[in-house]
Amino acid sequence: MAYDPTLDSVKEHPLPRWFSDAKLGIFIHWGPYSVPAYAPRHELIDNLRKGGWSYHFKNNPYAEWYMNSMKIRDSPTWKHHDRRYGRDFDYFEFGDILKESMGRWDCRAWSELFQKSHAKYVVMGAKHHDGFLMFDSEDEQMNREGWCMERDVIGDVGRSVRKKGLKYGVYYSSALDWTFKDETITCMADMLSNGSTDTRYLDYVWNHWLEMIRRYEPDVLWSDIGFPPGRDISELFSHYYNSVEDGLVNDRWMQTPASIQWLFRRYPIRKVIDYFARRMLLKGKVTTLQPPHCDYLTPEYSSFDEINEKKWECVRGLGTSFGYNSMETTDDYISFRELIHLFVDIVSKNGNLMINVGPTAEGEIPKEQRELLIKMGGWLDLYGEAMFGTRPYDIPGGTTSNGVEYRFTRKDEQLYITVLDPIPGKILQFTGFDKYDDCYHLGYDEPVLMKKKKGRSKIKLPQNIGKNSPACSLKLV
Q: What is the pLDDT of residue 43?
A: 87
Q: Is there a domain that residue 391 lies in?
A: no
Q: Give the Cα separation of 386 and 408 in Å (integer).
A: 9
Q: Residue 14 sits in a domain of what CATH number?
A: 3.20.20.80
Q: What is the pLDDT of residue 285?
A: 62
The verdict on 212 and 260 lying in the same domain is: yes
H-run or E-run covering 258: helix 258-264
Q: What is the pLDDT of residue 210?
A: 98
The verdict on 206 and 240 lying in the same domain is: yes
The verdict on 361 and 408 lying in the same domain is: no
Compute the radius of gyration of the chain from its Cα atoms.
23
Q: What is the pLDDT of residue 468?
A: 84
- The 3-state DSSP class for residue 221 equals strand
Instruction: For strands 446-447 and 450-453, give the pairing.
Output: unpaired
Mean pLDDT over 180-190 rounds to 93
- The 3-state DSSP class for residue 138 equals coil
The verdict on 429 and 312 lying in the same domain is: no
For the cut 90, the answer to whether the pLDDT of residue 282 exceeds it is no
Which of 335, 357, 386 is a domain's end point? 386
- A 10 A CB-CB count for 203 gives 15
The verdict on 132 and 50 lying in the same domain is: yes
Q: What is the pLDDT of residue 208?
A: 97
The verdict on 341 and 471 lying in the same domain is: no
Q: Residue 418 sits in a domain of what CATH number?
A: 2.60.40.1180
For the cut 80, the answer to whether the pLDDT of residue 251 exceeds it is yes
Q: Is there a domain that residue 38 lies in?
A: yes
pTM here is: 0.96
How many domains in the chain? 2
Q: What is the pLDDT of residue 140?
A: 79
Q: Which residues contact 5 (CB under 8 A, 6 or more apart)?
A: 232, 234, 235, 238, 239
Q: Is there a domain that residue 453 lies in?
A: yes
For the cut 60, the answer to whether the pLDDT of residue 429 exceeds it is yes
Mean pLDDT over 233-256 rounds to 97
Mean pLDDT over 124-142 rounds to 93
Q: What is the pLDDT of residue 149?
A: 95
Of the pLDDT bands very low, low, confident and very high (cuts 50, 70, 90), residue 401 is confident
Q: Is there a domain that residue 311 lies in?
A: yes
| pLDDT tens, position by position, 74-131 | 999 999 999 999 999 999 999 999 999 998 899 999 999 999 999 999 999 999 999 9
Exposure class string for 337-373: b at 16+ Cβ within 10 A, else e: eebbbbbbbbbbbbbbbbbbbbbbbebebbebbbebb
H-run or E-run covering 344: helix 336-348
Q: What is the pLDDT of residue 227?
A: 96
Q: What is the pLDDT of residue 141?
A: 78
Give the residue among 315, 256, 247 at the shortest CA–CA distance from 286.
315
Which of 361, 386, 411 is a domain's end point? 386
Host domain of residue 366? 7-386
For the cut 70, the answer to whether the pLDDT of residue 351 exceeds it is yes
The verdict on 291 and 425 lying in the same domain is: no
Query: 3, 243 in Cβ contact below 8 A?
Result: no
Which of 332, 356, 386 is a domain's end point? 386
The verdict on 220 and 261 lying in the same domain is: yes
Q: Which residues contact 390 (CB under 8 A, 6 or more apart)?
A: 23, 347, 409, 410, 411, 416
The verdict on 243 and 312 lying in the same domain is: yes
Q: Which residues pair with 316 in a beta bridge?
A: 355
For the cut 60, the answer to whether the pLDDT of residue 286 exceeds it is no
Q: Is there a domain that residue 2 lies in?
A: no
In three state form, how does the secondary structure of 345-405 look? HHHHCCEEEEEEECCCCCCCCCHHHHHHHHHHHHHHHHHHHHCCCCECCCCCEEECCCCCE
Q: What is the largest CA-CA distance in the chain?
A: 77
pLDDT over 70 percentage in the chain = 99
Mean pLDDT over 323-345 rounds to 97
Q: Is there a domain that residue 146 lies in?
A: yes
For the cut 90, the answer to whether the pLDDT of residue 358 exceeds it is yes
Q: What is the pLDDT of residue 291?
A: 87
The verdict on 107 and 26 lying in the same domain is: yes
Q: What is the pLDDT of residue 135?
A: 96
H-run or E-run covering 172: strand 167-173
Mean pLDDT over 352-362 rounds to 98
For the cut 70, the answer to whether the pLDDT of residue 41 exceeds it is yes
The verdict on 248 and 136 lying in the same domain is: yes
For the cut 90, the answer to whether the pLDDT of residue 426 exceeds it is yes
Amino acid at 432: G
Q: What is the pLDDT of residue 18?
A: 98
The verdict on 72 and 100 lying in the same domain is: yes
Q: How far is CA 149 from the centre of its chain?
A: 23
Q: Is there a domain that residue 36 lies in?
A: yes
Q: Is there a domain that residue 1 lies in?
A: no
Of the pLDDT bands very low, low, confident and very high (cuts 50, 70, 90), residue 276 is confident
